Amino acid sequence: MAEPGQSRRTEDRGADRELAHLREQIDKVDVEILECLNRRARVVQDVGRLKRESGGAVYSAGREAEIVRRLRDGNEGPFPDAAIAAVFREIVSGTRALEKVVHVAYLGPAGTFSHRAAIEIFGRQAVLEPQVSIADVFTAVERGRVQLGVAPIENTTEGIVTATYDLLPGFAGTLCGEFMLSVSYDLLSTSGRLADVHRVASHPQPLGQCRGWLDRNLPGVERVETPSTAAAAQLATEDDGVAAIAGGIAGQDCGLRAVELAIEDRQDNTTRFVLIGTKPPERGDAERTSAVFTLRKDESGALHRLLEPFASRGVNLTSLHLRPIKDKPWEYLFFMELEGHATDPRVAEALEVAGGVAHSHRVLGSFPHADRRE
């Protein structure tokens, strides 16, 4: 009869052999995956050759979203659906670089939510170039220093990002896509103690998105606007009395401690980013179109006549925003977003009729609708 210790050692050796066998299977699968990736890469190289010959855009938001959607819909498990987007983002990023390395401008420095959005959209094989302001992002695209730019345009708490809207009418390029990013902010300082906070610094948008928490917990404390959350984090490292509202990554990079985590006023706090470029994107399955109009302020009923062509043709307007026209008091730009592509017959007809009513108008671009599950 085997001793208890000997029986346990025999069981352990059996488990070790089984584990080694399973790891051998994993190693074989990994080799097969790499072979498939290289086969995919060779096909992408052929795609790149055709795009260079035709002048097509390297990045296609619709196509890349379609890849993830198709794979997720066909996934039988046990590989989790939630991981598909992250894995294939890097696969696509790596093989896209074989066509052409994509240069992307974003509101920097590194560590901002614009930086995070750029990484999640383009992966880590793209060259991400930080800019001092949103205006610099637009300029970098217009002057050809980068192929694409990422700019925040709207937040669920604070509404529109006015700097982006004010730049769109004069932008020589086009909207190419959109991306939704869940945003959470921490209050960060060198000590991590609330009692040490004498000033709070951040970009105006995060300050607004955390206004309720600040009013309750730091009433009367000075709030300082900075060009970005990363700049606020840097300021906090230089002054023990300053706390920054920023993402956790920015705090880690600067060596700051958390005073309080997740201080945003809404749990569903989300920022929508737009992609800007000089080449219209390929059509996707779900399209959105953005346009801007001006009206003569002395015409009665002009706004009604501007909106009627869309309603009568069954074109759904998803948003309508007003921005004042510079140097023209009480005159406004009307920004519309609607479902459908600008070349769809109903949409094209509605835009044409509305354009006839308007004093001036311009289609800012048609682009794939972001999948909020990403």
Distance separating alpha carbons of residues 152 and 204, to the nearest angstrom: 13
Q: Is 176 exposed, middle or buried (0-12, 13-18, 19+ CB in 10 A)?
A: buried
Preceding omega of 78 cis (within 30 degrees of 0) = yes
Q: pLDDT digit string (tens) for 55-84?
A: 666 666 666 667 777 787 888 878 887 777
Q: Which CATH superfamily is domain 186-260 in?
A: Periplasmic binding protein-like II (3.40.190.10)
Query: Which among 365, 348, 370, 345 has a CA at the least distance from the CA of 281?
Result: 365
Contacts of 99 (CB under 8 A, 6+ apart): 44, 45, 47, 48, 51, 52, 58
Q: Report phi then psi at 138, rounded to 5.
A: -65, -45
Closest CA to 232 of 244, 221, 222: 244
Listing DSSP states for 146-198 in one string gives -SEEEEEEEETTTEE-HHHHHHSTT-SSEEEEEEEEE---EEEESS--GGG-S
Chain centre to alpha carbon of residue 110:
15
Residue 343 to residue 196: CA distance in whole angstroms: 58
- The beta-carbon contacts of 340-345 under 8 Å, at least 24 apart in sequence, are 340/287, 340/288, 340/289, 340/315, 340/316, 340/366, 341/283, 341/287, 341/289, 341/366, 342/289, 342/291, 342/366, 344/287
Joined together, the tokens standing for residue 269 give: 């706090």
pLDDT of residue 10: 64
User: From start to end of 236-310, where are the E strands?
Assistant: 242-246, 257-260, 270-277, 287-294
Q: Tell me which CATH homologous superfamily contains domain 15-96.
A: Chorismate mutase (1.20.59.10)
Return the pLDDT at 142.
Answer: 95
- Rounded to whole angstroms, the Cα distance separating 355 from 368 reads 23
Residue 374: predicted pLDDT:
43
Q: Report the C-alpha gap between 205 and 92 in whole angstroms.
A: 32
Residues of the chain scoring pLDDT < 70 = 1-12, 53-65, 96-99, 250-251, 284-285, 371-374
- Residue 3 pLDDT: 59
For residue 48, give the nearest of 97, 103, 104 by alpha carbon.
97
Is there a contact between 249 and 228 (Cβ–Cβ < 8 Å)?
no
Segments making up each domain of the chain, as ranges: 15-96, 186-260, 283-368
Hey, what CATH class is 283-368 in?
A: alpha beta
C-alpha closest to that of 286 among 346, 338, 351, 348: 338
